[in-house]
Structure 1
Amino acid sequence: MEKIDAFLAEASRLAWGMPLLILLMGGGLFLMLYCRLIPFRMMRHSLSILQGKYQDPNAAGQITPFQAMASALASTIGMGNISGVAVGIAMGGPGVLFWMWVSAFVGMATKFFTCTLSIMYRGRNELGAIEGGPMYMVTEGLGKKWKPLSILFAFAGLFGTLPLFQANQLTQIITDVVLKPSGMVGEDTFISNLFMGMAMALLVSIILFGGLKRIAAVATKLVPLMVVLYTGSVLYIIFSNITAIPSMFALIFEDAFTGNAVMGGAVMQVIIMGARRASFSNEAGIGTAAMMHGESQNNEPVREGLVAMWEPFIDTIVVCTMTGLAILVTGVWETNSGNGVTMTAQAFGVAMPQIGKYLLVICVFIFAFTSLFSYCYYGSKCFTYLFGFKYRRLYDYFYILTIIIGAIVTITSVINLVDTAFALMAIPTMTCALLLSPRVMAASKDYLARLKAGQIQQF
């Protein structure tokens, strides 16, 4: 196991080197400037789209743009917001939050481009049904000769969308908050983790085998609930320590450019950690959201991009920031061992001694399960692209099995595996977005001209 841990750690380090940082953050910055801040200038119109004012009931696709965004948020607003932020602060210090913000702002432009392309260049699977995602964006937009990039994305997506992290952290918080304090388990938690993994696998399978529409329906109901419950709890912690907020922001900005808090002055490592945690959290530039938005009932590609751009803002600027502030103002980041969700649980416990940890258990349960639904859909799309529909059920069974595996392995192995896969997924996604960016801009100018002329129909 130690050799596997070492191999995954080295793979993650190599994958998240300077070239990928330039591709993700530099590429996102280029797209933001190239589009002349369209995602920010069109926010009011994008809200009208989300309200359904421009929803064409006869458009191709399986789900509405709002359902696509809710389903994408079901995977992004998840354990990355609760555990990922804690891991980032523990490993990189408070300055990680600043670089997560930077990644999120450029990620809004990245999502605008990638999800616009997911509608512009949809393909058809072997059954003749419309499909979207980076696999099809590459082959339909760049041509068949670029198919190796599609294969790379789909192969990496098989591992990047496994439920290991969600299962691991849900098991961890139930053990730390419920089982150990009650004396139900001791230090050896293998058996209890195994049974929890099996229980999670059973619950998830009930939803998964219902298909995309059931996943979207569940996500649409649970995402607003989990956002309200979690944000309400975190805002209570923040306002209970409101006098400490200015100094915490000062600490974040100072550490972002010094790296002194944890990294001993290694600023570049703080930047890389911020980019890694932001990518894991909001998935901008990774390509998972493009798979979901590619299924949206929308014949206007730019409109889909304007919907998708909200995801990094909601996920990272809002939810991750609140988690980070809750951890910082309670001081647990200075004393905790940094085992992901355990740190966040301690912050909730310090701020709300009687019920804090139990509220977090409920939030983690909802966050983890909504992520599990969406991730299986992403992974199955990658699998069927590579191997066809004949063996699709085999992937579903494998996915459910990895829920059990995730419950019993170490958090470091899980993070390094997922980070490596996400890095590989970003290569084809960002390459496609950058090479096809002129076509997105042409479509944007056309759409904005028609909108200004009153030619865009409301329904």
Structure 2
Amino acid sequence: MLETITAVNQAVNSFIWGIPAMVCIIGVGLLLSVRTGFLQLRKFPYAIKTIIGRIFHKKDASDGAMTPFQAVCTALAATVGTGNIAGVAGAIAIGGPGAVFWMWCSALLGMCTKFSEVTLAVHFRERNKNGELVGGPMYYIKNGLGSRWQFLAVLYSLFGVLTVFGTGNATQVNTIVTAIDSALLAYGSSLNSILPTVNLVVGVVVAMMVAMVLLGGVKRIGSVTEKLVPFMALFYIVLALGVVVLNYRRFPAVLASIVGGAFDPRAFTGGAIGSIFLSMQKGVSRGIFSNEAGLGTGSIAHACADTRKPVKQGMFGIFEVFADTIVICTLTAMVILCSGVPVGYGSAAGAELTISGFTATYGGWSSIFTAVALCSFAFSTIIGWGLYGSRCIEFLFHTDKVVGPFLVVYSFVSILGATVDLGLLWSIADTFNGLMSIPNLLALLLLSGTVAKLTKEFFAGEGAGK
């Protein structure tokens, strides 16, 4: 029976995260780009200016809301996770250096997709009975498409609730304990006997920290993420840039392998990988998995922003994909490729390949700093997905009374993630994660005219600062 379930899930997962999904996500991204006149390129300087302005413009949000900057930090908290470290490594190992090029291409379209998701989420959001701003794909389906499409909103929320325990929590905690265990073992195999106890303690501590943050509501979530995300991003960027600088002689050859490998993988992988299609598939799929453009999840956090300008908040969506994929994922690739560590093309690889890139450059002591970066990335993802799950379950039950118990259960899953191997369950959660994209992409397709209209009106009027 278990083998049958596993086989069925693998087949569904391959379809959901395979070619059909990528074609749909890229197709919708291309349509939205055309309808907005490739806004992500034309208005990129404006997006960066908006972000910088919000960083230095401090103000308190109204009750039940976050500041616009806290909203983007919360969305980035969920987006910048282990996929930026382990996912990129896997894409390079299986698809070759050229996978990075296709990751960049998917990100360019993903910028407009996420811009559209955020704009629609803010435009069609509501206030719940507690006065908190709530929004996201389920709300722009409900308020933007009418009663005939309500089933899509319900499906999205259902898939969201089923996803958060695995994708958003347990797998992230597993990454935390793996990073800590690796750092401890670097100081001697004699510590191996204490690892189960260490893992349990880590699981309990993470569960308590997650509960304290999430049960404090959107204000506390925003307050934590606006401090944690800039710290962890800058910490990782500086660490990664150091690898590139110290190995600068390899940089030109690495760039050549990324561009050349996109069209001739065999020439840069020793013949281990010879398919352009495989390189494209891994680059695009891992890019999507990392920045979540097309899944709609990030828009749930942006809907909490204390702003009256949906399009202006949408600019944060453009920055979000840029920061996640163009900056952080690219730096991860550079750590692997510039450090000169053996990649083992054609075989599976994960975070250990990225860690090897750091330790090969800095020495074994850097495993501690890498562990800190991994822990920060994973913890921030747990916080962000906790908010997403609470919004989804509130939408399903039409009451916020279920949110507290849900968040308590969600927090305790951290202990399971740290101590138990639940393999198939997390694979199923990954499938539900992909299923979330179906109702969201259909909604984006049907509401693309609304996105184009809101964008045109904003930049033609006072919203653009004219």
Per the normalisation by structure 1, the TM-score is 0.90
Give the number of equivalent residue pairs: 455
Taking the TM superposition and a 5 Å limit, the aligned residue runs for 1:53-452 are 62-125=65-128, 129-161=132-164, 162-179=168-185, 181-186=187-192, 192-260=198-266, 261=269, 264-335=273-344, 338-387=348-397, 388-408=399-419, 416-451=427-462
Offset from partner CA, 1:430-451 (integer Å, 9 cap, x none): 2111211111111111111114
Q: Which amino acid aligns with 1:287?
A: G
User: CA, structure 1 residues 334+427, in 2 after alignment: closer, same or farther (shift >3 Å)?
Assistant: same
User: CA, structure 1 residues 167+109, in 2 after alignment: closer, same or farther (shift >3 Å)?
Assistant: same
How far apart in 2 are the matches of 1:338 and 1:249? 23
How far apart in 1 are the matches of 2:365 and 2:176? 18
Asked if structure 1 preserves the Cα contact closer than 8 Å seen for 2:98 and 2:279, the reply is yes
- SS of residue paired to 2:66: coil
Report sequence identity in percent.
34
More displaced stretch, 14-23 vs 148-157: 14-23
How far apart in 2 are the matches of 1:67 and 1:226? 15
Asked if structure 1 preserves the Cα contact closer than 8 Å seen for 2:91 and 2:99, the reply is yes
How far apart in 2 are the matches of 1:254 and 1:406? 40
How far apart in 2 are the matches of 1:408 and 1:257? 43
Q: Report deviation, 1:22.
A: 1.4
Offset from partner CA, 1:292-324 (integer Å, 9 cap, x none): 111111111111111221001011001100001
Q: Report deviation, 1:361.
A: 1.2
User: CA, structure 1 residues 324+58, in 2 after alignment: closer, same or farther (shift >3 Å)?
Assistant: closer
Asked if structure 2 preserves the Cα contact closer than 8 Å seen for 1:234 and 1:323, the reply is yes
How far apart in 2 are the matches of 1:278 and 1:411? 26
Asked if structure 2 preserves the Cα contact closer than 8 Å seen for 1:164 and 1:406, the reply is yes
Structure 1 unmatched runs, 5+: none
How far apart in 2 are the matches of 1:127 and 1:11? 39
Q: Which amino acid aligns with 1:119?
A: V
User: CA, structure 1 residues 55+241, in 2 after alignment: closer, same or farther (shift >3 Å)?
Assistant: closer
User: CA, structure 1 residues 353+413, in 2 after alignment: closer, same or farther (shift >3 Å)?
Assistant: farther
Offset from partner CA, 1:308-343 (integer Å, 9 cap, x none): 210010110011000011112223352497552222
Q: Which amino acid aligns with 1:395?
A: F
Partner of 2:12: 11
Structure 2 unmatched runs, 5+: none
Offset from partner CA, 1:155-201 (integer Å, 9 cap, x none): 11123333122111111111122146433543896554344323322
Q: Report deviation, 1:258.
A: 4.1
Cα RMSD after superposing both structures: 2.8
User: CA, structure 1 residues 126+61, in 2 after alignment: closer, same or farther (shift >3 Å)?
Assistant: closer
User: CA, structure 1 residues 201+60, in 2 after alignment: closer, same or farther (shift >3 Å)?
Assistant: closer
How far apart in 2 are the matches of 1:71 and 1:79? 16
Q: Which amino acid aligns with 2:355?
A: A
User: CA, structure 1 residues 440+326, in 2 after alignment: closer, same or farther (shift >3 Å)?
Assistant: same
Q: Which amino acid aligns with 2:224?
A: V
Q: Which amino acid aligns with 2:35?
A: Y
Per the normalisation by structure 2, the TM-score is 0.89
Q: Which amino acid aligns with 1:291?
A: I
